A and B are shown apart, each in its own frame.
Chain A
């Protein structure tokens, strides 16, 4: 079956998913957010509640594409034409298992009006080559906040979710894993977005347009790994986790802004990334936005060992991280851009440095009282400037209006009071 025929079948699949209200069957629109936040139980509950009202065709689709169960061919072929099933087999998304179909670790997730072939988030798959995580969504959200519809190039397309839901304008991407590149392109076709989104199989800047790119974005592999243990391509970031980050920033085309969503590692006070950015962003402005900080625990090393496919290697990971001086992990969004004020700015959008952080609320409209009080105290103590507080509040609330201005006015007064206290 050639690409044109597969494209036709994917169009039919889209019609069937729409017709059977697949997105509604999966629950409300935030299902991907909940799954990436490991709230599988909530999702199960919601789908169960909606599942009581579903017909057999809808249940068959959900069982195969959402839960990853084996479903008899007869049940699936009562919903999907044989040709659609053949196309999905050809793409490696489902396979035949005797008289049943099963997925190859992929699900179809509804996300903001799109359908995504994505890794099975309801179960923890080992050996999956495709990645979609909370950091992917953080990159999508960061791009959605940008008002520009300039051209975006992504390094490591994964599912293609940034192209479908994050980038406002033209989007091109590289993806090193051939099958993941195929899945991303499949998602663009499935959602009728091939006129805007394209993926190239290759590494780093392969396929990057020679001019006109406004954003270089990536959720790069960032997990530090010992030399003897290799994590999947989408995860392993070399000895200190920053190998790919360095490659991206060192080769970034001039004039483009780089936006990276990743997890970085360090001690309780800062990260190795900050040292690197001081070196790599010379003449440019770098901003690091930390949204959470957690202490590394035994369970993290166990998860790494499972990810590397060597279940008893947790101790090796723990020793490697200790040697690197990594005791904490931080969720971060990094931007590097040309600016008249070069330098490094760090914004901490979580509570406290001493204990494990609690991520602050985002996108809820108004800052809560604790957030305002914390902002004012930070200004009084000289730990944050008013402009940093402004950036934090705009990030947290997605608003830039009179309510935020009122909070900032209090911060400015506090800043003045702090200044006067210093000079008196």
Chain B
């Protein structure tokens, strides 16, 4: 696990950065006040039917793609 990192990495001046932070504060307060953090939305069609990304990949019509192995990012799911 990485250590806490406190560098800002922002190219802005302190004054400008503070403006951004103030607006973030204001908007966060508004979101909390309205109970507005999002829930993970539902997905449509294939995923509603319980079809995985792997199934979607398998159903791709392009034969060139089908010749290659199942992609690394789908294999991890």
Query: Which residues of A are at the interface with B, using a C-beta cutoff of 8 A?
Result: 2-4, 6-8, 11-12, 14-15, 41, 44-45, 47-48, 51-52, 59, 62-63, 67, 69, 74, 77-84, 90-92, 95, 102-105, 123-129, 177-179, 181-182, 185-186, 188-189, 192, 194-195, 198-199, 201, 306
Contact = CB atoms under 8 A, between A and B. Distances in A.
Contacts of B62: 41
B30 A181 contact: yes
Contacts of A189: 10, 20-21, 24
Given A91-B28, A179-B31, A201-B30, 9 more contacts: A4-B17, A69-B73, A95-B40, A102-B40, A104-B37, A125-B43, A179-B38, A181-B27, A192-B12
Contact of B27 (A182, A192, A194): A182
Nearest to B31: A178
B73 A62 contact: yes
A194 B16 contact: yes
B27 to A, nearest CB: 4
A80 B1 CA distance: 8
A182 B31 contact: yes
25 contacts: A2-B21, A3-B24, A4-B17, A7-B17, A8-B9, A8-B10, A41-B65, A44-B71, A47-B73, A51-B71, A52-B72, A63-B76, A69-B73, A78-B1, A91-B28, A92-B37, A92-B38, A104-B37, A124-B43, A182-B30, A185-B20, A185-B27, A186-B24, A194-B19, A201-B27
Interface in B22-60: 22-28, 30-31, 33-34, 36-45, 47, 53, 57, 60
Nearest to A105: B41
A125 B68 contact: no
Contact of B28 (A95, A182, A188): A182
B4 A81 contact: yes
B73 A195 contact: no
A104 B40 contact: yes
B23 A194 contact: yes
Contact of B73 (A15, A59, A74, A102): A59
B53 to A, nearest CB: 8
A182 B16 CA distance: 17
Given A7-B20, A192-B10, A48 B40 contact: no
A47 B18 CA distance: 37
A3 to B, nearest CB: 3
A2 B73 contact: no
